[in-house]
Structure 1
Amino acid sequence: MGDDDYSKEDLLQLCKRFGDYITVKLFAIFSISLQNLDSHSIGAIAGLVVAILFTWKLLRSSRASHRSQPKRQSNMPSSSGVNTHSNSSLTLAEFSQNSQAQDGIDEFFQPVKPTLGQVIRQRLNEGRKVTCRLLGVILEETIPEELQKQATVRSSVLEVLLEITKFCDLYLMERVLDDEGEKNVLLALEDAGVFTSGCLVKDKVLFCSTGIGRTSFVRQLEPDWHIDSNAEVVYQLARFIKYELHVSPIKAERTATNVFSSPSLEQFFGCV
């Protein structure tokens, strides 16, 4: 088999590997719905185009190089050792060139890490309305009595909370014992920047005096998701709400197929 045959076979192998990359990456990129395209997705498509142009130019230059090389005489004595050394050098050079091309393709096709917004939309299954309890989920405090003294927004949940407000109609709710508890909650949310950095307004922070009142709020709003730290409330609403997230430090038994559980809201979205 001549040198040209070896060169063609190498080029075909390289094209085949690149074709496999193209197939996989095109499927991954275009499986995302057009409405979810953002700067990262556009960047991935742009990288794909650049990779195609890069490989096309590489293949053209490789073909031109092989055409310009004169054919070696087949009747040269092989015992001299010169041809053996030349063939080895040429094979190594071609292997190095193909390896560099493969490295270039690999570099362009490095997986793009999804943004927090993309993760949230995926985990919420594109749900647009969300209701969420404050105690034990957004706030450090876990019982209404603690709210009479102070309210503290959990720093680890703040980024997730603000991101949810960008894509969802979010309502926060809690049972308080008096006006002082309500005041402390609103002040804590305001100090954390929830009302200025996100799309949440104070009118969407709802207060009630009983646990039944929170359940009533949720049923009236008919959200796609309800997030709560009270197992009894989650159980009662499972028949009426499409999806629920039970936030509990102790892994709870799954009571229904539409009820998920997580130690925290941020862990549910993989932020910890």
Structure 2
Amino acid sequence: MADSSKEELLQLIKRFGAYLTVKMSNLFSSISSQNLNTRSIGAIAGFAVAIVFTWRLFRTPAPPPRRQPKRQAPGSSSSGVSSPPNSTLTSTGGVSSSENTRVQNVVDEFFQPVKPTLGQIVRQKLSEGRKVTCRLLGVILEESTPEELQKQVTVKYSVLEVLLEITKYCDLYLMERVPDDETENKVLAALEDAGVFTSGGLVKDKVLFCSTENGRTSFVRQLEPDWHIDTNPEIIFQLSRFIKYQLHISPTRSERASSNVFSSPSLEQFFG
């Protein structure tokens, strides 16, 4: 009976080893084809925990074998029923299959891809950039022209979470062309009411205003950001030689002006 249990445990270990070999082959092939990122590190950590868990599972002593009732002599009792001789083997086989499935489920669970947080996506998408400049119209605000701002200023609440994450890792500057000081004050009030300045990463002094489109271009060149975000394709084109990366926000997919220019319908969609 003991030899049978050892043989079953050995077969379970062999099956687990073969299964684990396939998983590790897929993991290390993906790591070798790209830089070691957060998902790869998480997978390796999960693999280590799975090994420890499995080791503890295997070293747990098996429960003592169930003692079979003595077979009564024929005729000693008319009501006695003897157990079939292969009942214990069937039960043992069922336990072995259950243990094998449990180990496989544990490994599968640890090798599930870890969903990155929004903060991790922001850092990855921005390529660890430390300074970002961004226009307001069409990106942070619903309005698309300076003249519309004279009537009302509407903040896109769907973009606020992304802005918060950007300000955690980057020095963010917002900028826009406005027709007068009154419109400038309206924009600042709307941003403040939306809670843009409550996170501590963005202050009013980092919201810049100008009277011409060339003024915004000058702001960007003076600040020398790692990323600039804009809706004007002409400004994107002019700055492509000077700025490391740019994001063109456009409702329609446009042709890339340069290899360092990316395009997205909105800022929040660019970060998934």
If the TM-score is normalised by the length of the shorter chain, which range does it land in? Answer: 0.7 to 0.9
2:197–2:203: 8 Å Cα contact kept in structure 1? yes
Q: Deviations over 1:100-139 (max 9, x none)?
A: 1222333344432111010000000001110000000000
Higher Cα Rg, which structure: 2
Q: Pick from 179, 189, 194 the counterpart of residue 196 of structure 2.
A: 194
Q: Pick from 158, 168, 177 the counterpart of residue 160 of structure 2.
A: 158
Deviation at 1:23, TM superposition (A): 7.2
Give the letter for the 1:177 counterpart.
Answer: P
Q: Deviations over 1:221-248 (max 9, x none)?
A: 1110000001111111111111000001
Tell me the TM-score normalised to structure 1 length. 0.80
CA–CA separation in structure 1 for the residues paired with 2:204 and 2:135: 15
SS at match of 2:62: helix
Query: Structure 1 residue runs of 4+, over 2 Å off?
Result: 2-7, 15-28, 30-33, 47-54, 82-93, 104-112
CA–CA separation in structure 1 for the residues paired with 2:26 and 2:223: 42
Q: Pick from 216, 219, 226 the counterpart of residue 217 of structure 1.
A: 219
CA–CA separation in structure 1 for the residues paired with 2:9 and 2:147: 79
Give the number of aligned pairs: 247
Q: Deviations over 1:52-106 (max 9, x none)?
A: 3321121113xx439x669xxxxxxxxxxx5666544433321111101222333
SS at match of 1:112: coil
Q: Pick from 21, 31, 35 the counterpart of residue 36 of structure 2.
A: 31
Q: Deviations over 1:178-233 (max 9, x none)?
A: 01110111011111111112410111111000000000111111110000001111
CA–CA separation in structure 2 for the residues paired with 1:164 and 1:268: 13
SS at match of 2:133: strand
- Pick closer, same or farther for the CA change 1:11–1:44 going to 2, 3 Å: closer
CA–CA separation in structure 2 for the residues paired with 1:8 and 1:52: 16
Is the deviation greater in 90-99 or in 111-120? 90-99
- Partner in structure 2 of residue 94 of structure 1: 96
Does residue 1:57 correspond to 2:59, yes or no? no
Give the letter for the 1:54 counterpart.
Answer: F
2:50–2:107: 8 Å Cα contact kept in structure 1? yes
Does residue 1:17 correspond to 2:19, yes or no? yes
Q: Deviations over 1:6-50 (max 9, x none)?
A: 53132122244346556767987x9347xxx9xxx6x994x6555
- Partner in structure 1 of residue 170 of structure 2: 168
Give the letter for the 1:57 counterpart.
Answer: R
Deviation at 1:256, TM superposition (A): 0.8
1:162–1:198: 8 Å Cα contact kept in structure 2? no
SS at match of 2:229: strand
- Partner in structure 1 of residue 115 of structure 2: 113
Give the letter for the 1:117 counterpart.
Answer: G
Give the letter for the 2:260 counterpart.
Answer: N
Cα RMSD over matched residues?
A: 2.9
- Partner in structure 1 of residue 81 of structure 2: none
Give the letter for the 2:256 counterpart.
Answer: R
Deviation at 1:158, TM superposition (A): 0.8
Does residue 1:177 correspond to 2:176, yes or no? no
SS at match of 1:113: coil
2:136–2:176: 8 Å Cα contact kept in structure 1? yes
Give the letter for the 1:65 counterpart.
Answer: A
Unpaired segments ≥5 residues, structure 1:
71-81
Give the letter for the 1:188 counterpart.
Answer: A
- Pick closer, same or farther for the CA change 1:192–1:108 going to 2, 3 Å: same
CA–CA separation in structure 2 for the residues paired with 1:49 and 1:196: 41
CA–CA separation in structure 2 for the residues paired with 1:208 and 1:219: 14
Q: Where does 1:75-154 land on structure 2 (aligned, <5 Å)?
A: 86-154=88-156
Q: Report the structure, 1 or 2, having the larger helix content.
A: 1
Give the letter for the 1:53 counterpart.
Answer: V
